Amino acid sequence: MKIGVYTLATIAILVLASSLTYASDPSPLQDFCVTINDPALFVNGKFCRDPMLATANDFFFPGLNIPRSTANPLGSNVTLLNVDKIAGLNTLGISLARIDFAPYGLNPPHTHPRATEILVVMEGIIYVGFVSSNPANRLFTKILYPGDVFVFPEGLIQFQFNVANTTGVTFSGLNSQNPGLIVIANNVFGSTPPISPDVLTKAFKLDKNVIEFLQKEFSMTT
């Protein structure tokens, strides 16, 4: 009886451990599942096209080597290649992002609620960081140079800031076909409809006039 209990416990631990090694998305049950874009259908993911109709273009995106414009107040531009850009990514549990930075450009504090991210620097000097969850709220930061790699755990607030006076470029892999994006300031101050200023005044310990100013500013940029 004791051996049987230990065996069951061992199996349970192994099953749990193996489940934690999966990507953020469910594993595919076929070689691939190229998406069908039908706005009338809503599922957790995308519906599959007949695999016999798939072509190489369903797994292809050109021109990621081309710099993107950073002519905006933040001085950054994120090109995300998720399932909406590459139909063949459906069910494969992965996506890719290129971030272009102007000198001193910022990818502001944000989270990816469905993905861990691994980032490599190609150009620039990038100050990166993430903050752990409550109650510790620990800040983990690093200055990255070309060739350096950094990992951002799933769901935690993160940022990237080019501290060089030259342009910057990074590439990131994310373990979801649709990582999701929550830009903290945009979501809090630019929501539709807006969050009550009374709530934000108390939460951020700021004057109500400041809160209303921030809501007005972010409502025009989201």
The binding site for oxalate consists of 107, 112, 117
Buried b / exposed e along 154-186 (16+ C-beta atoms within 10 A): bbbbbbbbbbbeebbbbebebbbbbbebebeeb
Q: What would you report as the CA-atom Rg of the chain, rounded to the nearest whole angstrom?
A: 21
C-alpha 124: how far from chain center: 21
Binding site feature residues for Mn(2+): 110, 112, 117
Instruction: Write down the H helix ranges in the chain.
Output: 2-20, 184-189, 197-204, 208-219
Query: From the annotation, which residues make up the binding site?
Result: 107, 110, 112, 117
